[in-house]
Amino acid sequence: EAGVVQSPRYKIIEKKQPVAFWCNPISGHNTLYWYLQNLGQGPELLIRYENEEAVDDSQLPKDRFSAERLKGVDSTLKIQPAELGDSAVYLCASSLGGRARNEQFFGPGTRLTVL
Amino acid sequence: GDSVTQMEGPVTLSEEAFLTINCTYTATGYPSLFWYVQYPGEGLQLLLKATKADDKGSNKGFEATYRKETTSFHLEKGSVQVSDSAVYFCALSDRRAAGNKLTFGGGTRVLVKP
């Protein structure tokens, strides 16, 4: 079974440029998460989807960040415009959903460097 | 709010040494506790978990016991190998909350030398 797929793995951009990250969750997983992981820190939740609905986006900086999960499968996280402080690893995770099936499976992440 | 504190690294050990990584938590609800491991260049993988007080999670020679009285979930392994070199994250999830949001500690880097 394929795991969570993310692309690109690495991205280098100049500040004020837009950037987008893509995530393909494990097949059949209804819940999808985007996390931000700053260097030397643990991941922090940005947004959670249940199918195509964003049910928790309280930690997403909505002035520059946006996300979508069309058709309840793949998801895209966008930053526009990027700032120097956005340099971090962006992790995608998925789970089957429901409290009894709550194990989250993580992708390898996208490492963003903003110059 | 919920929080997780774990010992800072890096922790450098020789092969076959005993490993302990301390983790304590603060939670208002009834959390499940987890240890995730991140090998170089890979995503986080669930190592073990415990869902209630006094439960012991174990996997790949690693163990951790859910201690409600000390709000701790320390990770231990009796004899580490070079392949255990990774970053280890302690995390909690409030089972009463929707979405199983994970709150992570800062991570502890472990380096095992041959």
Q: Per-residue confidence of chain B (114 residues) as pLDDT tens digits? A: 889 999 888 999 999 999 999 999 999 877 999 999 999 888 899 999 999 999 999 999 999 999 999 999 999 999 999 999 999 999 998 766 666 788 999 999 999 999
Which chain A residues are within 8 Å of B99, Cβ to Cβ?
A: 31, 48, 50, 55-56
Q: Are B35 and B47 in contact (CB under 8 A)?
A: yes
Of A41, A44, A55, which has the smallest distance from its Cβ to B99's Cβ? A55
Which residues, 6+ apart, have CB-to-CB distance to A32 below 8 Å? Answer: A23, A25, A48, A49, A69, A75, A92, A93, A94
- The alpha carbon of residue A35 is apart from the nearest alpha carbon of chain B, in Å, by 10
Task: Write out pLDDT tens, residues B28-46.
Answer: 877 999 999 999 888 899 9
Which of A97, A92, A54, A37 has its CA nearest to residue B100? A97
- The answer to whether A56 faces chain B, any CB pair under 8 Å, is yes
Q: Do A56 and B44 touch (CB under 8 A)?
A: no
Which chain B residues are within 8 Å of A41, Cβ to Cβ?
A: 106-107
Separation of first and last alpha carbons in chain A: 37
Beta bridge partners of B44: B38
